[in-house]
A and B are shown apart, each in its own frame.
Chain A
Amino acid sequence: MYATNYHRASSVEEAVKLATDNGDAKFVSGGQTLIATMKQRLASPSDLIDLRHVAALKGIAVNGRSVRIGAAVTHAEVAASAELRAVCPALANLAGGIGDPHVRHLGTIGGSIANNDPAADYPSAMLALDATIVTDRREIAASDFFQGLFTTALEEGEMITAIRFEAPEKAGYAKFPNPASRYAMTGVFVARRGGAVRVAVTGAGADGVFRHEGLELALSGNWAPDAVGGVSIDPTNLMSDLHASSEYRANLVKVMAKRAVASTL
Chain B
Amino acid sequence: MGVEGIGARVTRKEDKRFLTGKGRYTDDMTVPGMKYAYFIRSPHAHARIKGIDKSAALSMPGVIAVLDGKELKADGIGNLICGWMIHSKDGSPMKMGAWRPLADETVRYVGDAVAIVVADSMGEARDAAEAVSVDYDVLPAVISSVDTLKPGAPQLHPEAPNNLIFDWEIGDSAAADAALASAAHVTEMEIINNRLSPNPMEPRAALGIYDEAEDHYTCYTTSQNPHVARLVMSAFYNVAPEHKLRVIAPDVGGGFGSKIYIYPEEIVCLWASKKTGVPVKWTADRTEAFLTDAHGRDHVTKVKLGFDKDHRITGLKVDTIANLGAYMSLFSSVTPTYLHATLFSGQYVIPAIHANVRAVYTNTTPVDAYRGAGRPEATYVLERLMETAARELGVSPAELRRKNFITTFPYQTPVILTYDAGDYAASLDAAMKAADWDGFPARRAESEKRGMKRGIGMSCYIEACGIAPSAAVGSLGSGVGLWESAEVRVNAVGTIEVLTGSHSHGQGHETTFAQLVADRLGVPMDSVAIVHGDTDKVQMGMGTYGSRSGAVGMSAIVKALDKVEAKAKKIAAHLMEADESDIVVENGTLKVAGTDKSLPWFQVALAAYTAHNLPAGMEPGLKEGAFYDPSNFTFPAGCYICEVEVDPETGKTHIVQFVAADDFGNIINPMIVEGQVHGGIAQGVGQALLEGVHYDTSTGQLLTASYMDYAMPRADDLPSFQVSHQCTPSPSNPLGIKGCGEAGAIGSPPAVINAITDAIGNNDLTMPATPQKVWAALNAAR
Q: Please report A residues at the B interface, Cβ cutoff 8 Å.
A: 1-3, 40-41, 176, 178-181, 242-245, 248, 251-252, 255
Top 7 closest A-B pairs, CB basis?
A180-B711, A179-B711, A181-B708, A255-B649, A248-B772, A180-B709, A244-B772
Alpha-carbon distance between A178 and B710 when the two chains are bound, in angstroms: 10
Task: Please give the number of chain B residues whose Cβ is less than 8 angstroms from any Cβ of chain A in the complex.
Answer: 24
Q: Give the interface centre of B649, B652, B776 by most chain A CB atoms within 10 Å.
A: B649
CB distance from B193 to the nearest CB of A (A): 19
Would you give the 0/1 interface string for B762-782, flagging 1 where the beta carbon is closer than 8 Å to chain A? 000000001110011000000
Contact of B650 among A2, A178, A242, A252 (CB under 8 A): A252
Question: Does B123 lie within 8 Å of A1, measured CB to CB?
Answer: yes
Contact residues in A for B649 (Cβ distance below 8 Å): 251, 255
Residue among B287, B651, B690 with the highest chain A CB neighbour number at 10 A: B651
Q: Is the CB of B708 within 8 A of A176?
A: no
Chain B interface (Cβ < 8 Å from any Cβ of A): 123, 126-127, 287, 649-652, 689-690, 694, 703-704, 707-712, 770-772, 775-776
Instruction: Give the docked Cα–Cα distance between A228 and B123 (Å).
Output: 53
Is the beta-carbon distance between A179 and B704 smaller than 8 angstroms? no
Pick the most buried of B126, B690, B772, B775: most chain A CB atoms within 10 A of its CB: B772
CB proximity of A58 to chain B, nearest CB, Å: 30
Asked if A180 and B710 sit within 8 Å, CB to CB, the answer is yes
Task: Give complex CA distance A243, B650 in Å.
Answer: 13
Cβ-closest chain A residue relative to B127: A2
A121 to B132: give the CA distance in the assembly, Å.
Answer: 40
Q: A243–B772 contact, CB under 8 A?
A: yes
What chain B residues lie within 8 Å of A245 (beta carbons)? Answer: 772
Give A117 Cβ to nearest chain B Cβ, in Å.
Answer: 11
Q: A181-B709, A252-B650 are in contact. Are A176 and B694 (CB under 8 A)?
A: no
Contact A41 B126 (CB under 8 A): yes
- B492 to nearest A CB, angstroms? 51
In the complex, are the beta carbons of A179 and B650 less than 8 A apart?
no
**Nearest chain B residue, comparing its CB with the CB of A254:** B649
Which of A3, A179, A242, A248 is B690 in contact with, Cβ under 8 Å?
Answer: A179
Q: State whether A180 and B708 are in contact (beta carbons under 8 Å apart), knowing that A41-B126, A245-B772 are contacts in the complex.
A: yes
Across-interface contacts of B771 in A (CB, < 8 A): 176, 179, 248
Which residue in chain A gives the minimum CB-CB distance to B126?
A41
Residues of A within 8 A of B712 (CB): 180
The CA of A176 and the CA of B127, in the complex, are separated in Å by 39
CA distance A7 to B332 in the complex (A): 52
| Set of chain A residues within 8 Å of B708, measured between Cβ atoms | 180-181
Contact (Cβ within 8 A) B704 A242: yes
Q: For residue A15, give the distance in angstroms from its CB to the closest CB of chain B.
A: 27
**Closest B residue, CB atoms, query A119:** B708
Q: Are A181 and B775 in contact (CB under 8 A)?
A: no
Other-chain residue from B127, B652, B709, B775 in contact with A242 (beta carbon distance below 8 A): B709
Q: Which residue of A lies closest to B714 (CB)?
A: A182
- Contact A242–B707 (Cβ < 8 Å): no
**Given A3-B123, A176-B650, A244-B772, list of 14 further CB < 8 A pairs?**
A179-B711, A180-B704, A181-B707, A181-B708, A181-B709, A242-B694, A243-B772, A245-B772, A248-B651, A248-B771, A248-B772, A248-B775, A251-B649, A255-B650
Which of A179, A242, A245 is packed against the most chain B CB atoms within 10 Å?
A179
Docked complex Cα distance between A43 and B123 (Å): 15
Min CB distance A179 to B, Å, is 4
Q: Contacts of A2 on B, CB cut-off 8 Å?
A: 123, 127
Looking at the assembled complex, report how far the CB atom of A129 sits from the nearest CB atom of chain B, in whole angstroms.
25
Cβ–Cβ < 8 Å partners of A248 in chain B: 651, 771-772, 775-776
Which of A40, A180, A252, A255 gathers most chain B CB within 10 Å?
Answer: A180
Complex CA distance for A178 and B776, rounded to whole angstroms: 17
Q: Residues of B contacting A255 with CB < 8 Å?
A: 649-650
Min Cβ gap B268→A in Å is 22
A-B contact pairs, 21 of them (CB 8 A): A1-B123, A3-B123, A40-B287, A176-B652, A176-B771, A179-B770, A179-B771, A180-B710, A181-B707, A181-B709, A242-B694, A242-B703, A242-B704, A243-B709, A248-B651, A248-B772, A251-B649, A251-B650, A252-B650, A255-B649, A255-B650
Taken together as a complex, chains A and B put the C-alpha atoms of A245 and B770 apart, in Å, by 12
How many Å from the CB of A226 to the closest CB on chain B? Answer: 13
Docked Cα-Cα span, A181 to B712, in Å, equals 9
From residue A42, how far is it (CB to closest CB) to chain B in Å? 11
Closest-by-CB residue of B relative to A183 is: B708
In the complex, what distance in Å separates the CA atom of A247 from the CA atom of B625? 65
Residues of the A chain whose Cβ atoms lie less than 8 Å from the Cβ of B690 = 179-180
State A1–B130 Cα separation when bound (angstroms). Answer: 13
> By the criterion CB–CB under 8 Å, are A180 and B707 in contact?
yes
- What A residues does B704 contact at CB under 8 A? 180, 242
Q: In the complex, what residues of A have CB within 8 A of residue B710's CB?
A: 180
**B716: min CB distance to chain A, Å:** 10
Given the complex of chains A and B, what is the CA–CA distance between A1 and B285 in angstroms? Answer: 13
Which of the residues A40, A41, A243 comes within 8 Å of B770, measured between beta carbons?
Answer: A243
Chain B, residue nearest A176 (CB): B650
* Residues on A with beta carbons closer than 8 Å to the beta carbon of B650: 176, 251-252, 255
C-alpha spacing A40/B770, complex, angstroms: 28
Q: Complex Cα distance A23/B689, Å?
A: 47
Q: How far is the CB of A245 from chain B (nearest CB, A)?
A: 7
Q: With A and B bound together, what is the CA distance between A161 and B621 in angstroms?
A: 77
CB-nearest residue of chain B relative to A251?
A: B775
Q: Using Cβ atoms and an 8 Å threshold, which residues of chain A touch B694?
A: 242
- Of chain B, the residue at the smallest CB distance from A249 is B772
Chain B residues, CB < 8 A from A251: 649-650, 775
In whole angstroms, what is the CA distance A40 to B771 when docked?
A: 30
Chain B residues within 8 Å of A178, by CB: 711
A211 to chain B, nearest CB (A): 22
Closest A residue to B770 by beta carbon equals A179
A184 to B591, CA, bound (A): 70
Which chain B residue has the least Cβ–Cβ distance from A1? B123
A126 to chain B, nearest CB (A): 23
Which residues in B have their C-beta under 8 angstroms from that of A40?
287
- A244 CA to B650 CA in the complex, in Å? 11
CA–CA, A3 to B127, complex, Å? 10
CA distance A133 to B513 in the complex (A): 63
Report the separation of the CA atoms of residues A40 and B708 in the bound assembly, to the nearest whole angstrom.
13
Q: What chain B residues lie within 8 Å of A3 (beta carbons)?
A: 123
> Which residue of chain B has its CB nearest to the CB of A255?
B649
A residues within 8 A CB of B287? 40
Q: How far is the CB of B61 from chain A (nearest CB, A)?
A: 11
Contacts of B703 in A (CB 8 A): 242
- List chain A residues, Cβ under 8 A from B126: 41
Closest to A247 in B: B776
Complex CA distance for A181 and B649, rounded to whole angstroms: 21
Collect the chain B residues with CB atoms within 8 Å of residue A181's CB: 707-709
Q: How far is the CA of A243 from the CA of B692 in the complex (A)?
A: 11
Q: How far is the CA of A2 from the CA of B772 in the complex (A)?
A: 39
Bound complex: CA of A255 vs CA of B776, how far in Å? 15
A216 to chain B, nearest CB (A): 21
Q: Return A21 CB to nearest CB of chain B, in Å.
A: 26
Which A residues lie within 8 Å of B123 (CB)? Answer: 1-3
Bound-state CA distance A55–B712 (Å) is 39
**Across the interface, which residues of B come within 8 angstroms of A180, CB to CB?**
690, 704, 707-712
Cβ distance A100 to chain B, nearest Cβ, rounded Å? 9
Write the chain A residue with the least CB distance to B768.
Answer: A179
Rounded to whole Å, the gap between the CB of B626 and the closest CB of chain A is 47
Q: How far is the CA of A179 from the CA of B772 in the complex (A)?
A: 10
A248 to B774, CA, bound (A): 11
A1→B712 CA distance, assembly (Å): 26
Q: Measured between C-beta atoms, what is the minimum distance from A189 to chain B in Å?
A: 18
- Report the separation of the CA atoms of residues A259 and B287 in the bound assembly, to the nearest whole angstrom: 36
For residue B694, give the distance in angstroms from its CB to the closest CB of chain A.
6
Q: Determine the distance from Cα of A100 to Cα of B469 in the docked complex, in whole angstroms.
A: 48
Alpha-carbon separation in the docked complex, A195 to B597 (Å): 96
A255 to B650, CA, bound (A): 7
Inter-chain contacts of A242 with B (CB < 8 A): 694, 703-704, 709
* Distance between B528 CB and nearest chain A CB, rounded to angstroms: 39
Instruction: Return chain B residues, CB-CB under 8 Å to A252.
Output: 650
For the complex, what is the distance from the CA of A251 to the CA of B776, rounded to whole Å?
Answer: 11
